[in-house]
A and B are shown apart, each in its own frame.
Chain A
Amino acid sequence: MNSPLPVRWHAFALPKRGHTLDEYEDAHAGNPATGRFAVADGATESSFAGKWAKLLVEGYVRIEEGRTATNWLKPLRQRWAEDVASVPLAWYGEEKRDDGAFATFVGLALKQPDAERVGRWKALAIGDSCLFHVRKDRLLTAFPLTSADAFTQQPSLLDSRPRLKDAVVPVGCFERGKWQADDRFFLMTDALAQWFLRRHAQGLAPWQSLARRLAEPKADVALGTYCEELRDRKELRNDDVTLVAICL
């Protein structure tokens, strides 16, 4: 990509209530130069999951347009294994390290507009981290999940230690479309995505609630306060929250 995309983007992160920021195991990254953005959610029941989630998003947004990316996971898995190999651990830590770390993931790649000023995008998702594409106050795409009822305790996960030979991304996790100026994309981890889809199913426009807070001078404070209110009202599951909002 020659020049950065004309995007404004903002990332917001909030740990699960009762947890410290050190214990936050989601991750996010964005790179306007490659047009790539991603969020990932390290699985609670695995160890070194936050590290794996971070490697995934950072690895994904480094990939340049047009580059074959089928093997992008391999160096990330190597890196994870190297980073955790020498950490001294008790019996349970060793077991969990042997099991590997797990994360859900959604990544968005935006391409520069062509001569007709039409931009294209593609997305990759594993599990229940979600992407929403909004145009003129209408939800165009929800991916990969489209209903709040589709969230389970056991989503598909990307593992840091592949068990199957040549294990790659499960089939059916790709989506593509076209973008135009003033479109918005939202990437989010499961708790917020489930809230988003539930609100949408109720005929509401959750992107407006988010956009209003994103527009405030202290957007992170506004979003944090809003999430805590939603948690108090049991509308938002108590989990790590991560949001990447992109305005074109």
Chain B
Amino acid sequence: MPYAADISRTNPTCFLFLVDQSSSMQEPFGATSDKKKAQGVSDAINRLLQNMALKCAKSEGIRDYFHVGVVGYGSRVAPAFGGALANRGLVPISEVANNPLRVEERTRKMDDGAGGVIDKKFKFPIWFEPIAQGKTPMCQALQFAHQMTSAFVGRFPNCYPPLVINVTDGVATDGNPEVPAVGLRKLATTDGGVLLFNAHLSAKPLRPVEFPDREDGLPDDYAKLLFRMSSPLPAKLQEAARADGFAVTPQSRGFVFNADLVAIVRFIDIGTKVAATVR
């Protein structure tokens, strides 16, 4: 059965995030008109990286179940980590966790265990700042992703297939991204083809759509295009999505509209999961 490989430190998988940094990302995001899309994206990427690090964190440190990369595309197509990780491609998650640009202290409401609510401080690392400059060379970004994941697949030919997560407002300026998307998804390990998931951020104040199973009903042609580019959710991810309360079907794809893909990190199996409600 494909998409069933054990994820371990000797046989890790990789997550590669492709981040649209074009000037259109300065537009407002969805129904929250005070937030720009670029800010929405950097928040989403920081949360994804934080969740991945936490998933692999044990009392003795971080276990490198994942190698992670962030590629920005806008005025150029290049690795987008900053600080100590600048110019690095795929980096073991322990290095990512230990090298944020900075760690902010934030507050969240928590049940005090006795029927009340308390403010609890927590640390929130920042790796990625919002950028919005230039065009949208999505085809180039997908080709770059192909090169990076191809090298990873060469190194770990039996790994759980790499996951490429493209976060964009959907309008490529360098051609039809379906073509390089097909090529990318054809790249495979012995456990299956590369998974390409897309998160579409729109300025339209429309309700989020998560893991749809058909393109009819999606709000515009860009969303439909990104849906077609997205891989179907493998059976085990469908099962995990269902357990998390998503209404998925066997035809559901790794595509979300005006939503983030943080849940995907929870779906990946590295061992016994803790329910989503805990976090």
Residues of A162-212 contacting chain B, CB below 8 A = 162-165, 190
- Given A153-B243, A163-B278, A239-B271, do A98 and B122 touch, yes or no (CB 8 Å)? yes
A43's partner among B120, B125, B272, B279 (CB-CB below 8 A) is B272
CA distance A9 to B191 in the complex (A): 41
Task: Name A89's closest neighbour in chain B (CB-CB).
Answer: B59
- Given A45-B55, A93-B57, A94-B123, do A154 and B243 touch, yes or no (CB 8 Å)? yes
CA distance A137 to B7 in the complex (A): 37
| A47-B57 in contact (CB<8A) | yes
| B57-A92 in contact (CB<8A) | yes
B98's partner among A44, A90, A98 (CB-CB below 8 A) is A90
Residues of B114-151 contacting chain A, CB below 8 A = 114-115, 120, 122-123, 125
How many of chain B's residues touch chain A, expressed as a range?
Answer: 35 or more
Residues on B with C-beta less than 8 A from A58 are: none
* Shortest distance from the beta carbon of A111 to any chain B beta carbon, whole Å: 32
Please, how many residues of chain A have a CB less than 8 angstroms from a CB on the other chain?
Answer: 39
Residues on A with C-beta less than 8 A from B271 are: 43-45, 239
| B272-A18 in contact (CB<8A) | no
Residues on B with C-beta less than 8 A from A104 are: 272
B6 CB within 8 Å of chain A:
yes
- Given A45-B270, A157-B274, A238-B6, do A95 and B122 touch, yes or no (CB 8 Å)? yes
B240 CB within 8 Å of chain A:
yes
* Shortest distance from the beta carbon of B248 to any chain A beta carbon, whole Å: 15
Task: Name B120's closest neighbour in chain A (CB-CB).
Answer: A98
Residues of B75-104 contacting chain A, CB below 8 A = 97-98, 100, 103
| A99-B274 in contact (CB<8A) | yes
CA distance A44 to B271 in the complex (A): 5
Question: 12 A–B contact pairs at CB < 8 A?
Answer: A22-B60, A23-B60, A41-B272, A44-B271, A51-B59, A91-B123, A91-B125, A96-B58, A154-B272, A157-B275, A163-B113, A165-B115
List 12 additional contacts besides A18-B10, A23-B60; criterion CB under 8 Å.
A47-B59, A51-B59, A91-B100, A93-B57, A96-B54, A98-B122, A99-B274, A152-B239, A153-B239, A153-B272, A165-B115, A238-B8
- Residues of A participating in the B interface, judged by any CB pair closer than 8 Å: 18, 22-23, 41, 43-48, 50-51, 84, 87, 90-96, 98-100, 102, 104, 152-155, 157, 159, 162-165, 190, 238-239
